[in-house]
Structure 1
Amino acid sequence: MQSTVVAVTTGRTEVVHDLTPQCASFVDATAAGGDGLLHIFVPHATAGIAVLELGAGSDEDLLSALHDLLPADDRWLHSHGSRGHGRSHVLPALISPYATIPVLGGALALGTWQSVALVDLNIDNPERQVRLSFLRG
């Protein structure tokens, strides 16, 4: 297995950050035209990995839905950090901290409109790491 860590700066706002270019670049460098699996993992307790269409409003729709499900208010028992920070600790139960994508012929086998994204509601931590691991088939 080959693995690397990608640094991502998410800033101080809620974000759906496109990781597809970094994933494609890593697969291009490691798969050597072969087949296998790309595993994407965010080793943080307050972020997740999603496979979805980006642009065309889908990323904003996701953030809106998460805002409805996980409001940034004072209901959360986990209450350090900014107001509503506890919701960020619930996020990985809804959006997993990992995803696995097939690699076929050295390329990500994503659907036409699919992208890989880091979902981060935690405005207290603008620096993230994402581990990409390629397992040859």
Structure 2
Amino acid sequence: MSDSFATDVLDITTGATERVVDLTGECEQFLTRTASGRDGLLNIFVPHATAGIAILETGAGSDDDLLATLHHLLPADDRWQHRHGAPGHGRDHVLPALVPPHATLPVIGGRLELGTWQSVCLVDTNRDNPRRQVRLSFLG
């Protein structure tokens, strides 16, 4: 593999509740190991049909607001055609259409370029699958 490309997989346990998990620290640690002061792109990808990646403020209620909004837009009831799993699980399979399973972000001088209040987050509403993988890839 080229020196200009590096990749790693994070194993994340989200538990039995809907969660927004801040991955910013893990992304920064990955870049410290792989970017070596270079410019490039960080791609964050979750290879699951029921989770997504969001860039948002955390810790000030925005993560809870996102989950509340998803509850409003995607109620956990029996309206969904996709019916295996817990009641309302079909909504989890619609989630990636609203919160995509990936994000690509600029890296300048080996550092993630986020706005002051922005964080990289895993969004997981699927209570049936408490273990997730997130692939981080740097191209620079």
Range of TM-score over shorter length? over 0.9
Within the alignment, does 1:23 sit opposite 2:23 as a pair? no
Give every structure 1 segment of 4 or more consecutive aligned residues whose post-TM-superposition deviation is greater than 4 Å: none
Secondary structure in 2 matching 1:66: helix
Secondary structure in 2 matching 1:63: helix
After superposition, the C-alpha distances for 1:101-136 in whole angstroms (9 at most, x for unaligned) are: 100011000000000000000000000000000001
Partner in structure 2 of residue 60 of structure 1: 64
Partner in structure 1 of residue 97 of structure 2: 93
Partner in structure 2 of residue 35 of structure 1: 39
Equivalent residue pairs, number: 136
Partner in structure 2 of residue 6 of structure 1: 10
- Structure 1 Cα separation of the partners of residues 24 and 87 of structure 2: 31
Structure 1 counterpart of 2:100, one-letter code: S
The answer for unaligned runs of 5 or more in structure 2 is none
Q: What is the deviation of 1:81?
A: 0.3
After superposition, the C-alpha distances for 1:69-93 in whole angstroms (9 at most, x for unaligned) are: 0000000110000010000000000
Partner in structure 2 of residue 105 of structure 1: 109
- Structure 2 Cα separation of the partners of residues 25 and 83 of structure 1: 38
Root mean square deviation, CA, Å: 0.4
Percent of paired sites with the same residue: 68
Q: What is the deviation of 1:38?
A: 0.3
